[in-house]
Structure 1
Amino acid sequence: MFKGGRLRKPPFGKGGLGDLNLKNRAAAIDASYRSTYQKRFRWLPSALFKPELAEDLLKDALALVEILTQCGNWNPQQDTKLAELARLITEQHPHDKLLIFTQFADTAAYLAKQLQARNVTQLALATGQSADPTELARRFSPISNAATVTAADAVRVLIATDVLSEGQNLQDCAIVVNYDLPWAIIRLIQRAGRVDRIGQQADCIRCYSFVPADGVERILNLRQRVRERLNQNAEVVGSDELFFDDDAKVLAQDQALRDLYTEKSGILDADHDGEVDLASYAFQIWKNATAADPSLVAKIENLPAVVYATKAQPRRINAPPGVLVYTRTPQGNDALAWIDDTGAAVTQSQLTILQAAECTADTVALPRVEQHHDLTKLGIAHILKEEQRFGGSLGRASGARAKAYERLKRYRLNVGDKRDLLMTDDEVRCMDRTLETLLRYPLFHSALDTLNRQLRTGISDQHLVDLLLNLQRDERLCVTHTLPEQQEPQLICTLGLCAPD
């Protein structure tokens, strides 16, 4: 502890902070923080370290030492949760592939180390710090990735953070383990979606989730504490009108919290004309269709790379005939266009266009209209023009990526060359890197969900910047390692719409 520029010995002896072993360990940890983990922390100017702060830090250190004295060192042999996981791997599923998700990289590393110590073999660890998570995915799920893997390189147990919850084919596995529960239920769905995909051979997919030992009552208490924090920070739900004391407002507040916790359909969506996760919508449509008719799997797999179809348009207002076009742009953005039979765009709403394509299994397939290809060409041109007009590589201006970029850019311009006591040069450089990343690469679906949620609830510029920088530091903001090198737009499919008889 430093005071007045000189080292002051703590007022206690052996067994406390004055113990040489603890001092050496503290010095080693400090060295690792200044080297290996330097970018994880916001380093404050030395002028902030006043004598009063030193006294407060000393009190905190004493409290921590007391906890360590009472509880002792962490003993993995007494970790009952770890023991249950090891039993699941070695006894319940000794020959099956298991995909184990945990939220934090430190937890994942701990599990990998301890399971290896318990003789769990063919094990690999995938986090944001992994050199090539995609390569680990291929070793774990070679069939779904059309990869050749030797027995020595094969992986049976893969421990991962959410770095593998998106954009990877892992359907050689049929067992997913959630070692800890994420706040958003949608995270569990995305994790299961890595194995519940086309090509999955298992009749049943098992998902194991570890829950708090105290059960439902503890979860309810957690919700209550969160609700109290919501009362203190109205921006979490967007306005303070939910926090009056009358019964009606309290009930409204309870429902708002419940909807946020369960991610009720629509509550985290962007505006009606905002960014729609077309891949997720398409996947859900696929799951519903194949569940109703399993024979569709073989039929769809045998279709050519690009397909088109035509159907009669229902009798309704503002639903003119024409062509629906689904395209992936050179910037990696998925987009839809609806071009009517005169060559004009019908709407910019991605959700409206997607809904216009809705049909049932018995919908009659009609012959292609004569101007189908010409309208498709106009649709692709329209998509590319709108992308350039509304944010260029950032996608639509109403999307979370474009909004986040513009607000971060505005914040960075306001900062300029100024610094306050809590803003370091490293943080400014991180802002610049984040701006470049947002401009060049698409968002992870998890980051998209988080940003949509926070933007809808009126997050402040400062909190939005903190969120973006944390996602950037944890490598959970944008997909930078799998972005395809694409110079031309990719036409996915088209659907012709004919006028009703």
Structure 2
Amino acid sequence: MPKIFDNISLHLKTGLLETLESSYRADFCVGYFNLRGWRLLMNHIDHFEGGVNSCRLLVGMQSQEENLLRQALSPLKKGMIDNPTALVLKKEIAKSFAKQLTFGVPTNEDEECLRKLKTQISEKKVKVKLFLAYPLHAKLYLCHKKDKDAPLIGYVGSSNLTMAGLSQQGELNVNVVEQDAAEKLDKWFEARWEDRWCVDISEELVQILEESWASENTIPPYYIYLKIAYHLSQEARNGIGNYIIPKILQKDLLPFQMNAVSIAARHLDKRGGVIISDVVGLGKTMTATAVAKLFEETFFTETLIICPKNIVEMWEGYVHTYQLRAKVNSISKVDKKFLEETRRYRVVIIDESHNLRNREGKRYAIVKEYLERNESKVILLTATPYNKSYTDISNQLRLFIPEDKDIGISPEHFIREVGGPIEFIAKYQYSPNTLLAFEKSNFSEDWQELLKLYMVRRTRTFIKENYATYDPVKKQYYLTFNDGRNEYFPDRIPKKIEYPFDPNDTNDIYVKL
């Protein structure tokens, strides 16, 4: 009578491991293979000699990438694919295994398991193939034993080669000890293992494991530093590489401003808004003008500029000089008529946006409604986005980000304080990946992470250290403008001022201090 393994009263892991202990080779067919799940079996096949007497693992991967590649190798295209192409395809499929290693926190047990798997594949004790002819969901475990009465034992059911599949509930499997049935399963496996579109990925898996965190080779700290820098700069590099500065502005922009334009344009394009928050004197107006012109040339947009009354004339000068298709509107004229009389502009620049940090104000409500009605992309200009509280920042972001929109990150420090994501949701009843969630946090680190997604901000010190040239004679840094002149950064040296007073006079204010 066959045994039923439901992973409740009887675990498949128990029966399979007991059979493997007295086996000299094995054949497994699974729909999905978790590399870390190999930990359950690794010590029970280590006694296999290798070569013919090995563990053959047949995997029918079902993720989207593999389905696309399977179509490329489908029987309909037999004869249309050459060996080099097949080699490229199998390498691409094998790389999907590397994604598994990016999930979760690595443990010592995981590291030991993956190193053991690499060794066993290298020693030919384990061979891994991918079946590409058609979707394969079968789960079969065959154990070959030196037993005259029962040389072949099989297990058939629903369990994949994962920790959960072999040891947790929700599965149903039976063992096959009747030899005629077991031999038929063996023939079924052999036919698929030898199929033309069953490709060996053993070498590719070894390479993936050698290049992963489970590698026995020590990675120099400098390489780790470079990888961190690479990922941290991903946003900036994408912006600089994909957005071209308008020709009319190239002669007037300094290198640090050009980079700011490219990064800001990416934020605006991908997230619907950006805060340009360079300190006073670094050219926020030029940067915003260039971004608006870039969108005008790339996406055929027009721009509405909302600014304080005293700088309307300045903005009109920029619009004229750089031939910007734009209208300048004083914020003092933003009233009820504004919504009805102002046509749609797909890009809106709001200068001195910190004036709209109070979402209870009437002008705030009118501007926000206009932006929502017209689905405008928003460029906010302010050197002081933060005044009294962090909601000064979130209120400006709310102009173009709905409060309950999933923004992809959460206030990790605050969520850790309340006990975790589940506790946060239970307490506040909304997603932690929202502006609403960030408004609960008083951790500056949370707000810094949020602003990385939406803000471009550089200080004079940053410009001096990364873009300026040092004059050894004057011992000062300078920037060279396009007209050839050099502008030097002043050295700020505090002056000492002495105030005379009688230290014995208890009524003197300085004595009291």
User: Which TM-score band applies after superposition, normalised by the shorter structure?
Assistant: under 0.3
Name the structure, 1 or 2, with higher relative contact order (CA <8 Å, separation 6+): 1
Q: TM-score, normalised to structure 2's length?
A: 0.24
Q: TM-score, normalised to structure 1's length?
A: 0.25
Which of the two has greater strand per residue?
A: 2
**Greater C-alpha Rg:** 2
